[in-house]
Copies of this chain bind each other. A is one copy, B any other.
Amino acid sequence: MQDIKVAVDAVVFGYRQNTLYVLLIQQKFAGQKAYWALPGGLVKDNESLMDAVTRELKEETNVEVNYMEQLYTFGDDLKRDSRNRVISVAYFALIDSSKTNIKADTDADKVQWFPVKEVPHLAFDHNLILQTAFKRLKSKLTYKPVGFDLLPKEFLFSDLENLYCTILEKEIDRRNFRKKILSFDIVEETDRFAEKKTGRPARLFRFNSHKYKALEKEGFLFEIKFA
């Protein structure tokens, strides 16, 4: 009789001010060393994997994400959870962190954004899961317009550009980047401007996901490369 548990875990990325963040929780446990961990938990018998992650995220962190996809199933290390054989189906999610109201809820003690470059040692194999998700984010940014899911609905071109620089850890030529993105015709000017403290006011832009989906069906490929 098989005795393997099935869990889901979510790597939720957020972005603010030239920094990529990941959402971590610290579980309530009496008198045990408390590690930070990815939000997640066991799947219920009558619940899809996707529903399970969504539920856990809601329960543990109170967030609803903009984008989510299955990342990888971690089940080759038999001792990844020291108590039982548990395999984890990990998900990769993106959120506009500016409009998010995180709060610890039923299951979790603390919820907090950590800069991806400064995450502590996590519970289980969650550091590995996070690294896998980070790699996925880096590569996905270059061939799908997922960066927009990390930004507010209306954003500055410079924010988009900085998001790419920050996450990909590369320099980008501002002019070429702008030209490239605009050539896709999936980002639209608004007639609004950001309230800025200094410098020339910057126009706000909006991603037209409807248009993108239409173009995608016709074979259009989003692609950003760098020198």
Which A residues fall within an 8 A CB radius of B? 2-6, 42-50, 70, 72-73, 75-78, 85, 87, 89
Copies of this protein in the assembly total: 2
CA gap between A85 and B5 in the complex, in Å: 12
Question: Which residues in B have their C-beta under 8 angstroms from that of A4?
Answer: 5-6, 43, 45
Residue of B nearest to A73 (CB): B73
Question: Which residues in B have their C-beta under 8 angstroms from that of A87?
Answer: 6, 49, 89
CA gap between A24 and B104 in the complex, in Å: 48
Is the CB–CB distance between B78 and A49 below 8 Å?
no
- Identify 17 residue pairs between A and B in the complex whose beta-carbon atoms are under 8 Å apart, listed by A's number: A2-B5, A2-B6, A3-B45, A4-B6, A4-B43, A4-B45, A6-B6, A6-B75, A45-B85, A46-B78, A47-B78, A48-B78, A49-B76, A49-B87, A70-B73, A73-B89, A75-B89
Question: Which residues in B have their C-beta under 8 angstroms from that of A72?
Answer: 70
CA gap between A172 and B85 in the complex, in Å: 49
